[in-house]
Amino acid sequence: MRLHPLCCSGCGAPVPLGSGSVARCAACGAGTPIPPEYEQLQRVAQSAARDTRMAEELYGQIGAAPRAWEKQILRGVARASGPLTGVGMLLGGIAIHYPPLGIPMMLAALWVLGYPVSWVMRGFYWLTGRPHAGPLEALTVLLVTMVLFVPPIGVWIIRKQRDASLDGVRRDIHASLAASLPERPGGPSRCRRCGAPLDVPAGALGVACTYCRTDNLVALPPAWVAHVRAADFQRFLRIDDALNAFRTAKETARSRTWTLAFVWVLVGPAVLLAGWLMGKARITY
């Protein structure tokens, strides 16, 4: 049997069931006895603390969104990573199938990529009062690149990409799980699915509707909810789905970090060998 939201015996407004034998109306203050057919719903709602814990876990783990300048850097990295990856794969394929042509081309690419690092190194020497007037050895520049630049910059980019993904997940959560506003000022928040009044404990971030068991986030500014709902978003039906999307973003970042470490270990010796060969060829910066 489908039960409709319990209404106040005084003014007729929907009232939350609460935890006692009488439901108190927020609009007129009248008390409405809880009918027997609503008592089971009341007991289920009292034992369903899982949704609140999940909402707290979600808000506690997502963290702060990336700043505007970080987002711009990430957009630039995303635009550049595709062409750079394509060039690297092309050079690698040529080096494997046509070593006499491919190896010199890869050495030339490494030589060009070493220039930004050499400029940074000269700037560091100048700032520390140790100007380096002579040329920089190719092996030194590539070694500094592999040790001091690639791991920190790569990890930073991966972390910021994760934060950007979580920022999108958070926006989708706000837009799709936010409870509906009260029918009248001072009244209870309403379920986003069936419109029933919600029992919201003090300090709660999210609650499940007593009637349809839909998850609702309740600690969100109305203007914020209206803003994110005005844009396209992925619709999450439950907190569980949102948490799974959050965990997927974290797992993706973790796998990218391991991939970076694997590539660094695999390619590092080859890059250092290239630096040694460039030194033998008297290539400097």
Tens-place pLDDT, residues 140-178 = 888 888 888 888 888 888 888 888 887 777 777 777 778
250 belongs to a structural domain: yes
31 belongs to a structural domain: no
Alpha-carbon gap, residue 71 to 82, rounded angstroms:
17
Alpha-carbon gap, residue 76 to 61, rounded angstroms:
27
The pTM for the full model equals 0.56
Alpha-carbon gap, residue 162 to 121, rounded angstroms:
30
73 belongs to a structural domain: yes
Could you list the beta-strand ranges (E) of the chain: 22-24, 31-33, 206-208, 215-217
CA 16 to chain centre: 34
Alpha-carbon gap, residue 115 to 137, rounded angstroms:
11
Q: What is the pLDDT of residue 201?
A: 80
Domain count, the chain: 1
Alpha-carbon gap, residue 181 to 195, rounded angstroms:
9
188 belongs to a structural domain: no
pLDDT at 30 over 60: yes
Report which secondary-structure segment, H or E, holds 151: helix 150-177
96 belongs to a structural domain: yes
Q: Are 24 and 31 in contact (CB under 8 A)?
A: yes
How many CB atoms are located within 10 Å of the residue 276 CB?
14
230 belongs to a structural domain: no
Q: What is the pLDDT of residue 168?
A: 77
Q: What are phi and psi of 23, to 5 degrees?
A: -95, 125
How large is the average pLDDT for residues 100-114?
Answer: 77
CA dist list (Å): 80 to 74, 83, 285: 10, 6, 24
Q: What is the pLDDT of residue 270?
A: 81
DSSP state of 147: I
Least confident of 98-112, 245-259, 265-279: 98-112
pLDDT at 4 over 50: yes
176 belongs to a structural domain: no
Q: Which one-letter amino acid corresponds to residue 126? A: W
> 212-267: per-residue pLDDT in tens?
878 888 877 777 777 766 666 667 767 677 778 878 888 888 888 888 888 888 88
Q: What are phi and psi of 133, to 5 degrees?
A: -80, -30
219 belongs to a structural domain: no
Smallest CA-to-CA distance from 141 within 120, 165, 163 is with: 120
Q: What is the pLDDT of residue 77?
A: 66
Domain that holds residue 275: 68-171+244-280
How large is the average pLDDT for residues 126-145?
Answer: 80
Q: Token match 């970042």: residue?
A: 253
Q: Are 209 and 193 in contact (CB under 8 A)?
A: yes
Q: What is the pLDDT of residue 128?
A: 82
Q: Are 216 and 179 in contact (CB under 8 A)?
A: yes
